[in-house]
Amino acid sequence: MAAITAAMVKELRERTGLGMMECKKALVEAEGSVEAAIEELRKSSGLKAAKKAGRTAAEGVSLVKVSDDKTVAFILEVNSETDFVARDDNFMNFANDVLNVAFEKGETDVAKLMEGDLESKREALVQKIGENITVRRLVKVEGPVVGGYVHSNSKIASVVALSAGTEELARDIAMHVAAVNPRVGKPEDMPADELAKEEAIIKSQPDMEGKPAEIVEKMMGGRIKKFLAENSLIEQPFVKNPEQKVGELIKAAGGELVGFTRLEVGEGIEKEEVDFAAEVAAAAGTGKA
């Protein structure tokens, strides 16, 4: 068997991005062939990705890409297990690759998008960093005027579409959406089941007890109206100017709200409590990761 030289290990590290010991081990198993070692590492990356797939990934980033003509935007969430990895350049580069490919292809089906090259990149990233990586959500937003906003920590991203106005206005309202998190765009968009839940909550409040039915209905009507105003984007006070409602701001620009999308990293995912220190210690003791 050919001797494993430092130059061979260096070449394999540069071509795969993996650690020195993992590269050296792969070269030993491949009997000194760099190409064979790369092939085996590619196979093992898929196995490692499958092994990690059951682990909860609730950290990560949300990103936005808007077309040059400001009429189309894609908004994406990619997850990792830890915030540390979410801030890693390799992870961010992968997330941006996914977003750019989705944008170029006009693809919103995550399963279809990840077929082929992107899935290979995901598996290689799992192999390199040792965490589960998932592409969770991808939404396309279209309209006459579209603007997007990504919060500075990349945990929250939003896109707003207007019938008229400027991209800057749409972006400002997207920033409002990121900050305030409205449930719906307009009061009439509130789902019936959400209204029913709120009505039940209001009726069960102590100050409703013992009051005549017509008084209860009148009080409930006022509180439902307030609930809808607080949770509908166009009825909310604009964060940059609380004296003006978002709907009034859009109307002043000659437009109407077409729609919005907001993605917050990890929302709806039940996070698993993982003791990573114990896990690393255990891995060090067994020689496995």
Give me the DSSP letters along 212-249: -HHHHHHHHHHHHHHHHHHHBGGGSEETTEEEEEHHHH
Print burial letters for 147-179: b (CB count within 10 Å at least 16), e (below 16): bbbbeeebbbbbbbbbeebebebbbbbbbbbbe
Residue 16: burial class (beta carbons within 10 Å; 0-12, 13-18, 19+): buried
Is 67 part of a structural domain of the chain? yes
More confident residue, 265 or 289: 265
Per-residue pLDDT at 84 exceeds 60: yes
Q: Which band of pLDDT confidence, cut at 50, 70 and 90, is reported for residue 49?
A: very low
Among 158-172, 183-197, 241-255, 264-278, where is mean pLDDT lowest? Answer: 264-278
Is 243 part of a structural domain of the chain? no
Assess whether 29 and 121 both reside in one domain.
Answer: no
Question: What CATH number is given to the structural domain containing 162?
Answer: 3.30.479.20
Q: What pLDDT score was predicted for residue 142?
A: 97
Is 71 part of a structural domain of the chain? yes
Rounded distance between C-alpha atoms, residue 143 and residue 128, angstroms = 40
Q: What pLDDT score was predicted for residue 94?
A: 96
Question: What's the average model confidence in pLDDT over 246-256?
Answer: 97
DSSP state for residue 206 in the 8-state scheme? G
Is 214 part of a structural domain of the chain? no
Is 232 part of a structural domain of the chain? no
Per-residue pLDDT at 97 exceeds 60: yes
Assess whether 34 and 64 both reside in one domain.
Answer: no
Contact 146, 137 (CB under 8 A): no
Assess whether 90 and 177 both reside in one domain.
Answer: yes
Rounded distance between C-alpha atoms, residue 184 and residue 194, angstroms = 11
Is 64 part of a structural domain of the chain? yes
Q: How many domains does the chain have?
A: 2
Rounded distance between C-alpha atoms, residue 149 and residue 167, angstroms = 11
Phi-psi region of 162 (alpha: psi -120 to 50; beta: other; left: phi over 0): beta
- Give the pLDDT confidence of 174-209 residue by residue, as tens digits: 999 999 999 999 999 999 999 888 888 887 888 777
Assess whether 166 and 74 both reside in one domain.
Answer: yes
| pTM for the full predicted model | 0.74
Assess whether 38 and 76 both reside in one domain.
Answer: no
Domain that holds residue 151: 59-186+257-264
Per-residue pLDDT at 166 exceeds 50: yes
Question: What CATH number is given to the structural domain containing 40?
Answer: 1.10.8.10
Q: Which band of pLDDT confidence, cut at 50, 70 and 90, is reported for residue 283?
A: low
**Tokens representing 20?**
């020195």
Which one of 34, 52, 70 terminates a domain? Answer: 52
Among 169, 179, 79, residue whose Cα is nearest residue 125: 79
Q: What angle do CA 119, 34, 117 make, to 5 degrees?
A: 15
Is 191 part of a structural domain of the chain? no
Q: What angle do CA 85, 88, 90 make, to 5 degrees?
A: 110
Assess whether 123 and 64 both reside in one domain.
Answer: yes
- Mean of pLDDT over the chain: 86
Is 148 part of a structural domain of the chain? yes
Rounded distance between C-alpha atoms, residue 85 and residue 277, angstroms = 15
Assess whether 116 and 20 both reside in one domain.
Answer: no
Assess whether 22 and 90 both reside in one domain.
Answer: no
Assess whether 175 and 130 both reside in one domain.
Answer: yes
Assess whether 138 and 163 both reside in one domain.
Answer: yes
Assess whether 104 and 182 both reside in one domain.
Answer: yes
Q: What pLDDT score was predicted for residue 287?
A: 47
